[in-house]
Structure 1
């Protein structure tokens, strides 16, 4: 049943005049008359008695008006709810890697909460490998991570890029000289989780003569990595974005290395055919937050995707 026809019926019952109803609905008297005639045909009853100046409801029309008003009101409430983002409720499940957690994620959560105050957010912080697995199983609605997810109806939205730098503790007495991979190989290497993107880079960089002396420690927890490097256990390649406090307090410093470490690419991955209408909106909020972070901190900390070098 056409809701516009019911709305026409309700207004005609209130105004009791075809011309006034047409003006109220920004249509013609002929259109009003046609809609009422269609309703009467559908219901199999006469809704109005037509007079010279106005119309009045019949007994059947009075009965039908009660239901029509409910339906029009319900439709209006539905439209209001769909157009007002403040009323969005429910749950969205977000997976996120620690490198994002330790940088712009708190600001992102604040923005989501401000836009959707009634939305419940479930957060899973893990490695990209585990997040991709959980996302593929349908346990997560959106993942913020360092690698794209392949598959039909999946969107990978570029967020930003984190430059990677080798860092170490002043306790190592490395100094400010430029280091080679052979120099780094004399220290324990603290790496992101095995089979992660950064770990694969380390495997590739040290695949030559340095590999025999290499001692790599794969750690899934970024916080544990930072603690070990701070304590002088070894060196690590990490985004400066996640160790700003340690760098400012000079308990860690960046090392000059003659081989550049590729940047860590951040993406928001979500299903474009997902029944949850908020996934793309939330991903766009993540993109805006990451862009603001990059613009505020500069290219040594974070870069927009188009600024990748």
Structure 2
């Protein structure tokens, strides 16, 4: 039994496809097929049911997957143990959303690069759902998302932090002078909002729908920095995660509104797949993020 056969088996099992496993590993599909056939012959059992283009594990395949994951984990742990004193240099691929990347990543990436200049970091920006799918297909090392609390037995969650979503306005707005207000007071104002597929925007729309109300923004855009600049110009209001607007509020450039009849929070969460060996590069990136949260 060869390690590459075990690796190919795990990729096919995880992706449910010989062709996708081949693409991910940089092999031809025929090479993957041969490796799996040789593995099945050596084990004396069928590992996959092949129904047209659909590939699924047999009962024996499910049993072997548990052993295969342990084999690869121990192999990777051995390699990492032998290289603990070596400088970090393996690439790191992180998935996150635009607003988190803009607000949280510049300082973390600067620290990481100072400590580990040889590590190449790739960042993919997308929606939480798409990032989760990429993580499950081994296309990302870890993901940092903003969402309702997520859990899956196949994932390892290393951080979860509540994040309030708040209404903001220019410091020159009449609403910035009020101590309290209700949602109805501001619904007639021009709003700049993220697009409807943003989960906190969806939460706002759902809250309004419960009261048979809607909000029609004058602008929808995924770029939170652009929205903040528009708000700062006193052109309207917005509804954004606190982490995205915190520095602007603290510097007195925009104001957070006290809207008393709505309370929406999301959760910043970091995951990686349980079958993904946590490299030193992953561990160090996670450490820097969690330390910045506790600072």
* Alignment TM class, shorter chain as reference: 0.5 to 0.7
Per-residue deviation at 1:151? 4.7
Does the 8 Å CA contact 2:170/2:254 hold for their aligned counterparts?
Answer: yes
- Where does residue 168 of structure 2 map in the other structure? 167
Offset at residue 241 of structure 1 (A) = 2.8
Residue in 2 that maps onto 1:259: 261
Q: Does 1:199 align with 2:201?
A: yes
Correspondence list, 1:178-189, <5 A: 178-189=180-191
What residue number does 1:232 align with?
234
Helix, strand or coil at the partner of 2:103 = coil
Residue 165 of structure 2 is aligned to residue 144 of structure 1? no
Q: CA deviation at 1:94?
A: 0.7
Q: 1:127 to 1:264 in 2, by over 3 A?
A: same
Cα offset for 1:273?
A: 1.2
Cα offset, 1:256, TM superposition = 1.5
For 1:126 and 1:162, locate their aligned partners in 2 and report how far apart those are by CA, in whole Å: 19
Quick check: 1:168–1:230 contact (8 Å CA) kept in 2?
yes
1:184-227 deviations in whole A, cap 9, x for unaligned? 21113333332332112211221144615x21354222112212
Say what the alpha-carbon RMSD is for the aligned residues: 2.9
2:23 corresponds in structure 1 to none
- Alpha-carbon displacement from aligned partner over 1:169-197 (angstroms, at most 9, x marks no partner): 13432231422111121113333332332
Give the structure 2 partner of residue 250 of structure 1: 252
Q: How much does 1:100 deviate? A: 2.5
Contact 2:103 2:243 survives alignment (8 Å)? yes
2 CA distance for matches of 1:132 and 1:243?
A: 26
| Higher relative contact order (CA closer than 8 Å, sequence separation 6+) | 2
Q: In terms of Rg, which structure is larger?
A: 1
> Does the residue aligned with 1:179 lie in a helix, a strand or coil?
coil
Q: Distance in 2 between matches of 1:194 and 1:207?
A: 14
Q: Using structure 2 for the length normalisation, give the TM-score.
A: 0.61
After TM superposition, the structure 1 = structure 2 runs for residues 12-31 of structure 1, keeping only pairs within 5 Å, are none
Shift of residue 290 of structure 1? 4.1
Number of aligned residue pairs: 214
What stretches of structure 1 move > 4 A for 4+ residues in a row? Answer: 78-81, 148-152
Secondary structure of the residue aligned to 2:209 is coil
How many Å apart are 1:96 and its aligned residue? 2.0
- Counterpart position of 1:101: 101
SS at match of 1:166: strand
d(CA) in 2 for partners of 1:167, 1:161: 19
